[in-house]
Chains A and B, each alone.
Chain A
Amino acid sequence: MSKNREGLLRSLGHILITALVLVVFAIVYMDAWLIEKFEGNKWSLPAIVYARPLELFEGREIGSQDVIRELQASGYRQGGGRPGSYSFDGRRLSIFQRQFYLPGKLQPEQTITIEFAADKIDSLKTSSGGAYSVRLEPVEVGRIHTKKKEDRLLVSIDQVPQYLIDALLITEDRDFYSHYGVSPKSIARAMYSNVKEGKVVQGGSTLTQQLIKNFFLSSQRSFFRKIIEAIMALLLEVHADKDEILEAYVNEVFVAQSGGRAIHGFGLASEHLFGLPIEQLEIQHAALLVAMMKGPSYYNPVRHPERALERRNLVINLMADNKKISKSDAEIAKQQPLGLLDSREMPASYPSYLDLVRRQLRRDYSEKALSTKGLKIFSNMDPQWQWRAQAQLQKGIQQLEANYGARAAGIDGAVVVVDTVNSDVLAVVGSKTPRVSGFNRSLDARRPIGSLVKPAIYLTALEQQYNLMSKISDDALTLKTPQGVWQPNNYDQQFHGEVPLYQALAKSYNVASARLGLDIGIDKVSVTLEKLGLEKKVPKVPAMMLGAIDLAPIDVAQVYVTVAGKGFYSPLKSIHNITDQAGNIVKRYPFKLEQRFAGDVMHLLDYGLQNVMHEGTGKSVESQFARNSVIAGKTGTTNDLRDSWFAGYDANKLAVVWLGKDDNQPLPVSGSTGALPIWANIISGNVNTYGRNKVPANINYLWVDKNTGELSGELCEQSIYMPFIEGTEPKQQAACIMSTRTIIHWFKKWFQ
């Protein structure tokens, strides 16, 4: 008997020792894992994409309302006098600028005072003094999250107002500073309440345990899980001090859901709910945040305002009872409304532009790095251009719907705006409902470009010793191709005989252009398109001369920016540079140029495209621009009017506008009557249009007869002032130069 008992005891002993060893190993493992997670990069921080900062200086032409709109878009509020606010009396704008980061530089808090005279900055002064220009805090374009779409704004414990900490501890963990991660007193208190009520009404978990549950473990609820949680809470208290734990909690706690985005941490919650940085929260805001901890959905202040208000006031009462605030402060706080941000004040989103940024980033960063390391991406988006493009596209489509009724049903569009100096993409609009993320037509709607291809044909011709007065035939053309007989036709269904090259371009004659392209050679035109920046391979068929190439508006913008840039190619850029969380620049996207076409040839093409706006398919909008504006562009209309295009530029901006239906049904408009007016409304808002074209040294301007191309004179009727590359000028003189009619015409001019 005693031998059996001895054996049993020995076995039990072995089991106990084994179990103890296993528990010790488990604790050591948990400890190592906890240290690694807690002391490393704790959170997935989304990348934040910013627009370009608005630069202001004396003499800048910009309206006060445009500046205020950007301030509001950056979260600035009117009144207050605190950082993050502004005031305006109709002429003087005072900006109380917050501290913020620009790449490699911390911009300090300062006060900026601007006086406007009409739509111009008359004077600009800063409290820091000295600077001749200031840059405002950039507007946020959007964020790139992980799949879980957690979003947070990290704050340090020093930034958190004391009454928020007080409210949190009173409500969630009164003994926070005296326990070691687990509070037997809290557990006992909770058990007593729950047994008394007959259901779970109170939790006994400390803040440390809650942090462990949210940060390290899943939301699974079981007794075993509770044991693990308690052990890990004890371990965490060994390795971290109370302030570190509290700081982690304040940044981790789930507060609210915003669409697909999970708002974590009080830092982002205070901006999301109240539009305020955490330092500026008042008692009632702090109390509401803590009130929501019990149940973010149940106490959601947007969906259940009365419930949220009641619980908020309960928290305020608790704070007063525990003497964390005075009774009078408590009464004042309880009288305040919830103070939520109006939905109109919510930051806007720009999903089409963000999409472009994302695609360009994918070349250099993995999705994981993008969505977890808290990178700050400074893009080239210009909010003024983005808003203008969005508004004009919407307005233009609404106008078409009003004018054409059912025939215009289903029209949508896209706009891309580019700075022609350095190929920065300023605006991307992928839909008539730009705030909604969906099919991004500016990047993904690949449609035939129609007559937009013609500048490439004419450019190739001009490089081959053609000039703008060279005669080309617009007579009927029939071509046998492997695909069958091809007979292009003009938009007006007529043939125009021999026409000068510049006119064929201005009036967009299909037959003349096709014939010219075939004479020069499809291969040569294809090479020109490649040099202009087209990366896609083009089909080497005759129909290519009439734009049987499917491109997205962004691809068209790349081609036309080389034209607008006088033959200098620079790849389109949506990103300026990238910094890490600390503001250190980690990547730049420099401005690089490559001259691909000679200046003289580009000058001729530019003249031809300007003429499109004077007497060609673009002339209907010429009067919208100042007389000395330099505008140029090309319309594009595809077969059966399925696509309406316009690509055009002024001294420093290019815009490409496309209209069409996703089901490829015909439109009631062409390039001239659809996309062109929208383009004009966008570009005519450009006040910074100065910039001169110096005539290349080997270009001679001469008066020639419009129809014959012969040398004429200024006073001849039918004469036009035309540029020629040296050596290609016409030699024959027109009869009008010394005719009697000329003299009579000359006298008429004196007496008019």
Chain B
Amino acid sequence: MVPVVQLKALFVVFLLLFVVACGSSSKKYELPEEEKDIYAALKHDDIEYHEEEKVITKHSPEYLVNGVNELRALYFRKKYEEATELSIRLLKLAPSLTEVYYWKARIAMDLSDFQQAYNMASKGLLYVEDPNMQKELERIKGMAQMGAQ
């Protein structure tokens, strides 16, 4: 039979280990960028190691922001053909850019192409994250459905 004192000591050790483990997992281990090599990744689960530079990247937001601003301006100036051309170019580079689908839907509404307006709004809803934009897209969908009836 193991002495009770030793059992208690063992329990305290386990408890301490448990507390230390909780503490370390709640803090994200940060290594400088240049040290995030494969060895660091093996040691620490939190570090992501990328064998190559192939990561999902974002294009310079400036280009997309400028593009969407221009798209909006073209819409309000009723230059629908130019706006459509620009929207295609933007979507090729940013296929989940919700704003583009939104403006395409509005153009389609103005041109009374309710089916397309509905479809564009539906596609935009696949990617939307902003709740206000979501409401707008759903509103257009509803209007397009009414317009088609």
The stretch of A191-199, A207-215, A261-269, A587-595 in contact with B is A587-595
Interfacial chain B residues near A684, Cβ < 8 Å? 54
B128 at the interface (CB under 8 A from A): yes
B20 CB to nearest chain A CB (Å): 10
Interfacial chain A residues near B25, Cβ < 8 Å? 750
With contacts A132-B62, A694-B129 known, is A626 near B123, CB below 8 A? Answer: no
Q: Which listed residue (B56, B63, B94) contacts A58, Cβ 8 A? A: B63
Tell me the residues in window 72-121 of chain B with beta carbons closer than 8 Å to chain A beta carbons: 81, 84-85, 88-89, 91-96, 115-116, 119-120
A516 at the interface (CB under 8 A from B): no
**Bound-complex Cα distance A684 to B53 (A):** 12
**Bound-complex Cα distance A465 to B139 (A):** 29
Interfacial chain A residues near B62, Cβ < 8 Å? 58-59, 132
Which of A132, A421, A591, A627 gathers the greatest number of chain B CB atoms within 10 Å? A421
A690 touches B56 (CB 8 A): yes
A626 touches B92 (CB 8 A): no
B56 touches A60 (CB 8 A): no
A57 touches B123 (CB 8 A): no
Interfacial chain B residues near A693, Cβ < 8 Å? 126
Interfacial chain A residues near B88, Cβ < 8 Å? 422, 576, 591
Interfacial chain B residues near A629, Cβ < 8 Å? 54, 56
A453 CB to nearest chain B CB (Å): 26
A178 at the interface (CB under 8 A from B): no
Interfacial chain B residues near A591, Cβ < 8 Å? 84, 88
B37 CB to nearest chain A CB (Å): 15
B57 touches A133 (CB 8 A): no
A652 touches B52 (CB 8 A): no
Interface of A is mostly: loop
**Bound-complex Cα distance A651 to B91 (A):** 12
Q: Which listed residue (A593, A599, A651, A750) contacts B95, Cβ 8 A? A: A651
Interfacial chain A residues near B81, Cβ < 8 Å? 104, 588
With contacts A58-B62, A132-B62, A132-B66 known, is A422 near B119, CB below 8 A? Answer: no
B127 CB to nearest chain A CB (Å): 5
**Bound-complex Cα distance A59 to B59 (A):** 6
A689 touches B91 (CB 8 A): no
Q: Which residue of B lies closest to A749 (CB)?
A: B45
Q: Which residue of B lies closest to A686 (CB)?
A: B54
With contacts A132-B62, A132-B63 known, is A691 near B55, CB below 8 A? Answer: no
Q: Which listed residue (A593, A628, A688) contacts B123, Cβ 8 A? A: A593
**Bound-complex Cα distance A420 to B127 (A):** 15
Contact string against A for B residues 17-54, beta-carbon threshold 8 Å, 1 for contact and 0 otherwise:
00001000100000000000000000000001010111
A593 touches B120 (CB 8 A): yes
A260 CB to nearest chain B CB (Å): 35
Interfacial chain B residues near A104, Cβ < 8 Å? 81
Interfacial chain A residues near B93, Cβ < 8 Å? 55, 60, 688
A136 CB to nearest chain B CB (Å): 13
Q: Which listed residue (A103, A593, A652) contacts B119, Cβ 8 A? A: A593
A692 touches B127 (CB 8 A): yes
**Bound-complex Cα distance A133 to B52 (A):** 28
Q: Which listed residue (A59, A421, A694) contacts B63, Cβ 8 A? A: A59
**Bound-complex Cα distance A594 to B89 (A):** 20
Q: Which listed residue (A424, A626, A651) contacts B52, Cβ 8 A? A: A626
Interface of B is mostly: helix
A422 touches B92 (CB 8 A): yes
With contacts A133-B63, A592-B116, A688-B93 known, is A626 near B55, CB below 8 A? Answer: yes
Which of B62, B88, B89, B92 gathers the greatest number of chain A CB atoms within 10 Å? B92
Interfacial chain B residues near A419, Cβ < 8 Å? 92
B60 at the interface (CB under 8 A from A): yes
Interfacial chain A residues near B122, Cβ < 8 Å? 568, 595
Q: Which residue of B lies closest to A566 (CB)?
A: B126
**Bound-complex Cα distance A424 to B55 (A):** 25
B58 at the interface (CB under 8 A from A): yes
Interfacial chain A residues near B53, Cβ < 8 Å? 118
A687 touches B92 (CB 8 A): no
B55 touches A628 (CB 8 A): yes
**Bound-complex Cα distance A592 to B59 (A):** 26
Interfacial chain B residues near A118, Cβ < 8 Å? 53
A595 touches B96 (CB 8 A): no
**Bound-complex Cα distance A591 to B57 (A):** 26
B116 touches A694 (CB 8 A): no
Interfacial chain B residues near A576, Cβ < 8 Å? 88
**Bound-complex Cα distance A628 to B59 (A):** 17
**Bound-complex Cα distance A689 to B48 (A):** 19
A594 touches B92 (CB 8 A): no
Contact string against B for A residues 130-151, beta-carbon threshold 8 Å, 1 for contact and 0 otherwise:
0011000000000000000000
A61 at the interface (CB under 8 A from B): yes
B91 touches A58 (CB 8 A): no
**Bound-complex Cα distance A687 to B56 (A):** 8
**Bound-complex Cα distance A629 to B94 (A):** 15
B60 touches A691 (CB 8 A): no
Interfacial chain B residues near A688, Cβ < 8 Å? 59, 93
With contacts A59-B59, A61-B57, A629-B56 known, is A422 near B91, CB below 8 A? Answer: yes
Which of B123, B126, B129 gathers the greatest number of chain A CB atoms within 10 Å? B126
Interfacial chain B residues near A133, Cβ < 8 Å? 63, 67
Interfacial chain A residues near B57, Cβ < 8 Å? 61, 687, 690
B61 CB to nearest chain A CB (Å): 8
With contacts A59-B62, A689-B56 known, is A627 near B48, CB below 8 A? Answer: yes
Interfacial chain B residues near A422, Cβ < 8 Å? 88, 91-92
Interfacial chain A residues near B58, Cβ < 8 Å? 690
A691 touches B96 (CB 8 A): yes
**Bound-complex Cα distance A568 to B118 (A):** 12
**Bound-complex Cα distance A58 to B58 (A):** 12
**Bound-complex Cα distance A576 to B87 (A):** 13
A625 at the interface (CB under 8 A from B): yes
**Bound-complex Cα distance A689 to B54 (A):** 10
Interfacial chain A residues near B95, Cβ < 8 Å? 420-421, 651-652, 691
**Bound-complex Cα distance A687 to B55 (A):** 8
**Bound-complex Cα distance A456 to B60 (A):** 38
Interfacial chain B residues near A55, Cβ < 8 Å? 89, 93
B99 CB to nearest chain A CB (Å): 14
With contacts A58-B60, A61-B57, A687-B57 known, is A750 near B21, CB below 8 A? Answer: yes
Tell me the residues in window 531-590 of chain A with beta carbons closer than 8 Å to chain B beta carbons: 566, 568, 576, 588, 590
A56 CB to nearest chain B CB (Å): 10
**Bound-complex Cα distance A267 to B92 (A):** 35
Interfacial chain A residues near B96, Cβ < 8 Å? 651, 690-692
B84 CB to nearest chain A CB (Å): 7
Q: Which residue of B lies closest to A652 (CB)?
A: B95
A626 touches B50 (CB 8 A): yes
A52 CB to nearest chain B CB (Å): 9
Interfacial chain B residues near A687, Cβ < 8 Å? 54, 57
Q: Which residue of A lies closest to B49 (CB)?
A: A627
Interfacial chain A residues near B129, Cβ < 8 Å? 694
Interfacial chain A residues near B63, Cβ < 8 Å? 57-60, 132-133
Interfacial chain B residues near A60, Cβ < 8 Å? 59-60, 63, 93
Interfacial chain B residues near A626, Cβ < 8 Å? 50, 52, 54-56
**Bound-complex Cα distance A696 to B126 (A):** 7
A699 CB to nearest chain B CB (Å): 12
**Residues of A in contact with B (beta carbons under 8 Å apart):** 55, 57-61, 103-104, 118, 132-133, 419-422, 424, 566, 568, 576, 588, 590-595, 599, 625-629, 651-652, 684, 687-694, 696, 750-751
A-B contact pairs, 20 of them (CB 8 A): A57-B63, A58-B60, A60-B59, A60-B60, A103-B85, A132-B67, A133-B67, A421-B91, A421-B92, A568-B119, A591-B88, A594-B119, A626-B50, A626-B55, A651-B56, A651-B95, A652-B95, A688-B93, A690-B57, A691-B95
List the 3 shortest-distance A-B pairs measured between CB atoms, nearest first.
Answer: A59-B60, A626-B54, A593-B119
Starting from the known contacts A58-B63, A684-B54, A687-B57, 8 additional A-B residue pairs (CB-CB under 8 Å) come to A60-B93, A421-B91, A568-B119, A568-B122, A628-B55, A690-B56, A691-B94, A750-B25
